[in-house]
Amino acid sequence: MLLRLEALSKRFGRDWVIRDLSLSLDRGEVVALLGPNGSGKTTLLRLMAGLLKPTRGRVERQGHALFLPNPPAFHRHLTAREHLLFDLAFHGAAGDWEGALKRFGLPAELPLAAFSSGMKKRLALARLTLLRPDLWLLDEPETALDQEGRALLQETIREARKGASVVLATHDRALAEAVADRAVWLGAA
Amino acid sequence: MLNAAHPERPDALTWVFLGLGLLLLPLGLYLALAAPPDVNQGYLARIMYLHVPGAWLGYLAFAVTFVYSLLYLFRQDPRYDRVASASAEIGLVFMGLALVTGMLWARPTWGVYWTWEPRLTTTAILFAVYVGYFLLRGAIEDPELRRKAAAAVGILGFLNVPISYMSVKWWRSLHQTQSIDLTTGKIHMDPAMLQALLLNLVVFTFLYLGFVRFRGFLAALEERKEEA
Amino acid sequence: MWLLALRDLRLEVRDRAGLLSVLAFLGVTLFTMALALGPEEAPLRRAAPGVLWVALAFLSTLLSTRAFALEVEEGTLEDLLLAPGGKEWIYFGKLLFQMLLLLPLSLLALFLAAGLFYLPLEKGLPLFLTLALGTLGYASVATFYAGLLSRLRGREALLPLLLFSLVVPVVLASVRATAGLLEGLPLEEVASWWQLLLVFDAVYVTASALLFPLVMDG
């Protein structure tokens, strides 16, 4: 068991965003979170990551989780190379950053301020493949990606599930059907 | 000092503390006014019966806030936070009372309302820390972040007490020539005066305990309303 | 911890706007104070340590807000929080970053003050020690509070209020130590202020490092 949510509820101010949600996830599983805007997909991912504390209920997590926000967050004054090198070192990991950049078709020496949103998405995926978390939490990973980028995303998720599990929040039914074993539908708040 | 998680009304102990405090308050005041005037300071010394218990309980209250803030951070139970903030609130009232009465006493005695004496300065700093504590609480909407931030201020602020005291003490001793030390103006106490002072201390302690428990109860109600 | 500090330093240098505003602030403050208190030499010299440390106090608030504002603006604070290993290292990294900037800046401030306020600089090393201990005192608390408030609107107003009531001992001790050194008091008399600063630094670095993971989590 990699992740278990027990009767999870989260409230912001007076509004309940998530109510009584239970879910468990094994290594190797891919789960898609579906639902309209404002149905709590991002909140749920952040709860899973431990970035938010549940109002009620529990999150049990084994292993290391990483969260890919939408849009992805980077320092604009660093280059892709510097960012990946820092992330690798800060996480105490080693990896072939040059290969990863090449694979995702990204320039190494351009400051991120000059990256398009699709390139940033690709960089975020490259970063995850390098850091190899046990739990991948992806928030709308398909947005801003072109055809080739989407193919890369699917490939990345399929590779990731070999050793880890993936939760992705998405509006793309086709993507969910292509990669996910299960889907969780979150209703409107 | 913890109330139950969801009380319907303040419990018996709260009423006992409040009742004892309120009942004994007139007696304390009577004894204070009946106590003989001080040899040097005359009737002015009577302000002491309010000043000393006020300051004493102010420090006690902030110490309680410190302890419960620590407990909150390690246990994450909102009840601890309620006690910490209730205690800080009551502490601010008592400390304010001590500062005001102190200034009223200082004006005729020392000729000034304020002097940079170590104990005064430390008290003023502590007062400012807890004003900040409540401004911070007011500024944060998320209840959990609010509790944590407040707890951090409650802890760091109280750690500062001995360091501030030392720094102001040295600062003055190295700099100023005039020296007014509260301890040199010590009042030798008549038994009647001591009795009155001690009784007032007890009365204030009861009031403090009652207020904190009552305030904690109100905070619990507020929180429940926020949740509903 | 060095990683984070050096990366932040690189960001700060590339950003330029932040560093320039900090430098401008320092220059303008010292210059205006010198104009306001001058032009006689004696009062200027007497006021110099106070002016210097007040300027440094504001400088450290500015810097500490920036240390976390950059992360929050870009949304990268969460990446740091999700990294394996203790969150206290984020605190230490940010603190180190501040010190790496504050130390040269405070030296610069000292030289500026020396020029504008007619200060003698013979005791270079003890003065530098005072600067280091004092700025560490400021930065230890400022970094902690800046991290705590980083997710809050209106932090610019709250930070000084929370900070300045805590750092009173640092202000007093640093000003006295600096004044003592400039007046040529023997080192033994200044040493007790250093001790006080050292105690403050030790207490607050430890307490902040212990509390930081607790308040940043969730």
- What does the radius of gyration of chain C's CA atoms come to, in whole angstroms? 18
Interface residues from chain B to C (CB-CB < 8 Å): 73-74, 121, 125, 128-129, 132, 135-136, 139-140, 144-145, 148-149, 151-153, 155-157, 159-160, 163-164, 166-168, 170-171, 174-175
Q: Where are the domains of chain B?
A: 12-177+207-227
**Contact status of A94 with chain C (Cβ, < 8 Å):** no
Interface residues from chain A to B (CB-CB < 8 Å): 11-14, 53
Taking domain A3-185, whether its CATH number is 3.40.50.300 is answered by yes
- Does the structure show a pLDDT above 70 at B77? yes
The whole-number pLDDT of residue B189 equals: 62
| ipTM greater than cut 0.85 | no
How far off is chain A from B146, nearest CA to CA, in Å?
13
The whole-number pLDDT of residue B2 equals: 54
Q: Where are the domains of chain A?
A: 3-185
DSSP secondary structure, B59-109, as one string: HHHHHHHHHHHHHHHHH--HHHHHHHHHHHHHHHHHHHHHHHHHHHHHHHH
pLDDT tens digits, one per residue of A92-148:
888 888 888 888 888 888 888 888 988 999 999 999 998 888 899 999 988 888 999
Would you call A82 and C76 a contact, using CB atoms and an 8 Å cutoff?
A: no
Q: Which partners does chain B have (≥3 C-beta pairs < 8 Å)? A: A, C
Tokens of B177: 């020539």
Would you call C204 and B170 a contact, using CB atoms and an 8 Å cutoff?
A: no
For residue B184, name the pLDDT band (cuts at 50, 70, 90).
very low
Closest of C65, C61, C63 to residue C160, by C-alpha: C61
How far off is chain C from A66, nearest CA to CA, in Å?
6
Q: In this structure, is the dihedral angle defined by the CA atoms of residues A145, A147, A150 and A151, taken in order, positive or negative? A: negative
How far off is chain C from B61, nearest CA to CA, in Å?
18
Residue of C66, C82, C87, C150 to mutate for A, most A C-beta atoms under 10 A? C82
pLDDT tens digits, one per residue of A17-51:
888 888 888 888 899 999 888 888 899 999 998 88
Q: Tell me which chain A residue has its CA closest to the CA of residue B227.
A: A14
Would you call C215 and B149 a contact, using CB atoms and an 8 Å cutoff?
A: yes
Closest of C178, C152, C142 to residue C65, by C-alpha: C142
Q: Tell me which chain B residue has its CA closest to the CA of residue C204.
A: B156
- The Cα A173–Cα C127 span in angstroms is 67
Q: Tell me which chain B residue has its CA closest to the CA of residue A10.
A: B227
The whole-number pLDDT of residue B179 equals: 41
Q: Alpha helix locations (H) across C75-123? A: 77-82, 88-116
State which residues of chain C have pLDDT below 50: none
The arithmetic mean of pLDDT across residues B25-40, rounded, is 69
The whole-number pLDDT of residue B6 equals: 54
The whole-number pLDDT of residue B180 equals: 43
pLDDT tens digits, one per residue of A46-76:
999 888 888 888 898 888 888 998 888 888 8
How far off is chain C from A48, nearest CA to CA, in Å?
11
Q: Which partners does chain A have (≥3 C-beta pairs < 8 Å)? A: B, C
CA dihedral of residues C196, C90, C99, C159 (deg, nearest 10): -70
Any idea which residue has 């979170």 for tokens?
A: A33
Would you call B141 and A53 a contact, using CB atoms and an 8 Å cutoff?
A: no
